[in-house]
Chain A
Amino acid sequence: MKKILLGTTALVGAVLVSQAALADAPKVTVGGSSEFEAGLLSGDDQSGGQVNATPNNGQSNRAFYTRNEVSLKVDGKSDAGLGYGSEIWLQADTSGDQNGRGVNATRTFVYLDGMWGRVEMGSNYGADDTLKVDAGTIARATGGIDGDWRFFANNRLGNPFIATSDLPINYGATGTGLSGAGTFGGGTPNGFGNQSTENINKVTYYTPKWYGLQAGLSYAPNDSNRGQTLGRTDHGAPITVGGATGGVAASTISSAHDIWQGGIGYNGQWNQVGFGLSATGEHGQADATSYHDLNAWALGAKASYLGFSAAGSYGDWGKSLRTGTSVSTNRFWTLGGAYEYGPYGLSVTYLGSKYDNAIASTDKFRNIVVGADYKLAPGLTPYAEVAFYNEDGQGTGHGVDNSGQLFLLGTQLNF
Chain B
Amino acid sequence: MISLRRSCYWASHYLLIALYVVFALFPLFWLVKVALTPNDLLYSEGIKLWPSRTSLEHFNFVLTHSEFPLFFRNSVIVSCATALIVSLISAACGYGLSRFNFRGKGVLMALMLITQMFPLVMLVAPMFRLLAPLGLTNSLTGLVIVYSAFNAPFATFLMQSFFEAIPKELEEAAMIDGATRFGAFRRIILPLTLPGIAATGGFVFTAAWSELLFALMLNSSSRASTFPVGLLSFVSKFSVDFGQMMAAGVLALIPACLFFLLIQRYLVRGLTAGAVKG
**Same assembly:** no
The interface of chain A, by Cβ under 8 A from chain B, is: none
The interface of chain B, by Cβ under 8 A from chain A, is: none
